[in-house]
Amino acid sequence: MKKLMLWRCKTLACGIPGQDVINDGAILTDVEKIIWVGTYSALPIQFKDQIKDTHHFAKQCITPGLIDCHTHVVYAGNRAHEWAARLQGESYESIAKQGGGIQFTVKQTQQCSEDELFELSAKRLQAMCESGVTTLEIKSGYGLNFETEAKMLTVAKRLEQAFPVTIQKTYLGLHTLPLEFKNDRVGYLKLVIEQILPKLMDLKLVDAVDAFCEDIAFTKNEVELFFQAAQQFNLKMKLHAEQLSDSEGVQLAARFGALSVDHIEFISRSGIAALAKSETVAVLLPVAYYHLHAQQKPPVAVLRDNKIMMAIATDCNPGSSPTTSLLLAMNMACMLFDLTPEETFLGVTKYAAQALGLEHQYGSLEPNKVADFVVWDIVHPIELAATLGVNPCQAVIKKGSIVYDKRSFRSFRS
Ligand SMILES: [Zn+2]
């Protein structure tokens, strides 16, 4: 006979479109997997004798574990001084020319030892875990050479071993052109495609690739060459697209069956048409929009009308989005981008899982999915987006085990 675990709660939000909360909710788990979800009174009788233990959260709401599908959590250095300069009217471009911007973070990350980088990143990941994140994506891209890109992705791998989270590792091969390749774009592309990517694959450090398609970064044609190389390894793609201008990156990504296109403030009509025909998720990053004082918003109403899946992420990075709070990003998605609270909730659960290609295991509470969920001191998931600077996370369950409980201050890190 099986030994099942029963989890009861006041309300249950499953992360399923169109479904409101279930009152007096119950989840039945068998070790790491969910086997039944519904109202407690509807629990099939045959399961009742197999229940080994019950956890009853009589006043709380349970949701799927949150998924942060776009982060640059692994980095060294701090760019608060640049932010202060920008407040005084200095432009992002002039800061970059003085050695600031991404190049500053690249230098700091290159100089940092792997252990130091791990400790810096672990602090940020701890904060994410404490606010209900059970799966996240971590991008490289502050290395620009093999050694540092491998170091960043190794740190991401070590973080997954040290914390109860699932981490998708993305090689952001085309982030910015290294200074030493200033006059040799072709040479850098060759290095990325012929050397760095294959070596990282040998080390099993890459789950997907990403690029920054923009006037100030890489062209659509350059990104296409990189994507073709990724395809040879059966890797999925993601793309920083249309953040500052329309570079037609979205159409390219959709053509390659990319997992997601991210930012997309400047997406065109034909970009939207391409997305509508694809399974590619639109990942919206409202904190970066806010922090950069950006003026152009993504066309959320048009995305909605075209039934394009929308996900929300922190974009955690030292320059344009220095936050670890997915809850803050949820609030900003509603306040700044006019998403509904329901869209926002699905954007950090179901569609965030889709943006990582993990929709069959994570993102919603349904039979056969992994038992990753969060107990919140709320009654409806609307409250997650409604509050600012409040963290109602009470407990986190990863693969069917309680890995964090605020009441007992059980820590995450093993
Ligand atoms: Zn990013």
Average pLDDT score over residue span 87-114: 90
User: How much distance in Å is there from the Cα of 28 to the middle of ligand 1?
Assistant: 37
Give the Å distance between the CA of 294 and the centre of ligand 1: 15
**Ligand 1 centroid from CA 72, angstroms:** 6
- Give the separation between CA 314 and CA 352, rounded to whole angstroms: 11
The overall average pLDDT reported for the chain is 96
Question: How many A from CA of 311 to the centre of ligand 1?
Answer: 14
Averaged pLDDT, 271-289:
97
Q: Give the three-state DSSP class for 24.
A: strand
- Would you state the pLDDT for residue 62? 98
pLDDT at 356: 98
* CA 394–ligand 1 middle distance (angstroms): 29
Tokens for 168?
A: 């998708």
pLDDT bin (cut points 50, 70, 90) of residue 100 is: confident
Ligand 1 mean position, distance from CA 386 (Å): 25
Q: How many Å lie between the centroid of ligand 1 and the Cα of residue 184?
A: 24
pLDDT of residue 215: 87
CA of 154 to the centre of ligand 1 (A): 19
Strands 133-139 and 281-284: unpaired
Distance 70 CA to ligand 1 centre (A): 6
Over 70: is that where the pLDDT of 411 sits? Answer: no
Neighbouring-strand partners of residue 391: none
pLDDT in tens, 313-357: 999 999 999 999 999 999 999 999 999 999 999 999 999 999 999
Cα of 257 from ligand 1 centre, angstroms:
19
Residue 95 above 90 pLDDT? no
The answer to whether the beta carbons of residues 343 and 310 sit under 8 Å apart is: yes
CB proximity list for 65: less than 8 A, separation 6 or greater: 132, 133, 134, 135, 362, 372, 373, 374, 396, 397, 398
Percentage of the chain beyond pLDDT 70 is 99
Percent of the chain with pLDDT over 90: 92
Residue 96 has pLDDT above 90, yes or no: no
Q: Which of 50, 42, 41, 64 is nearest to 5 (CA)?
A: 50
Comparing 243 with 97, which gets the higher pLDDT? 243
- Rounded to an integer, the average pLDDT of 273-298 is 96
| Alpha carbon of 329 to ligand 1 centroid (Å) | 14
* pLDDT class of 92 with cuts at 50, 70, 90: confident
Per-residue pLDDT band for 99 (boundaries 50, 70, 90) equals: confident
Of 77-86, 149-158, 269-278, 298-307, the poorest mean pLDDT is in 77-86
CA of 285 to the centre of ligand 1 (A): 8
pLDDT of 3? 87
Q: From ligand 1's centre to the CA of 10, what distance in Å? A: 37
Q: What would the pLDDT profile of 134-147 be if each residue is shown by its tens digit?
A: 999 999 999 999 99
Torsion of CA 259, 127, 329, 33, to 10 degrees: 50
- Residue 287 alpha carbon to ligand 1 centre in Å: 11
Cα(34) to ligand 1 centroid in Å equals 32
Residue 369 has pLDDT above 80, yes or no: yes
3 CA from centroid of ligand 1 (Å): 43
Q: How far is the CA of 60 from the centre of ligand 1 (A)?
A: 33
CA of 412 from ligand 1 middle (Å) equals 26
How is residue 89 annotated by DSSP?
T
Q: Which residue shows structure tokens 């069959």?
A: 360
Residue 1 pLDDT greater than 80, yes or no: no
Q: Which of 108, 198, 190 is nearest to 152 (CA)?
A: 108
| Mean pLDDT on 370-377 | 98
Using pLDDT thresholds of 50, 70 and 90, give the confidence band for residue 410: low
Once rounded to an integer, what is the mean pLDDT over residues 32-60?
96
User: CA torsion angle for 142, 145, 149, 154 (degrees, to 10)?
Assistant: -140
pLDDT for 114:
98
How large is the average pLDDT for residues 88-93? Answer: 85
CA–centroid distance, 156 to ligand 1, in Å, is 16
Compute, in angstroms, the gap from residue 403 CA to the centroid of ligand 1.
28
Ligand 1 centroid–CA 244 distance in Å is 13
Mean pLDDT on 276-300: 96
Q: For residue 20, how far is its CA from the centre of ligand 1 (angstroms)?
A: 32
User: For the residues 114-131, what does the mean pLDDT come to?
Assistant: 97
pLDDT reading at 98 higher than 90: no
Q: Determine the distance separating the centroid of ligand 1 and the alpha carbon of 107, expressed in angstroms.
A: 18
Q: Is the pLDDT of residue 414 over 70?
A: no
Examine the pLDDT at 181 and tell me if it is beyond 90: yes
Going from the Cα of 316 to the center of ligand 1, the distance in angstroms, rounded, reads 8
Distance (angstroms) between ligand 1 centre and the Cα of 42 equals: 44
Determine the average pLDDT of the residues in 54-78: 97
Ligand 1: centre distance to CA 210 (Å): 9
CB 20 within 8 A of CB 351: no
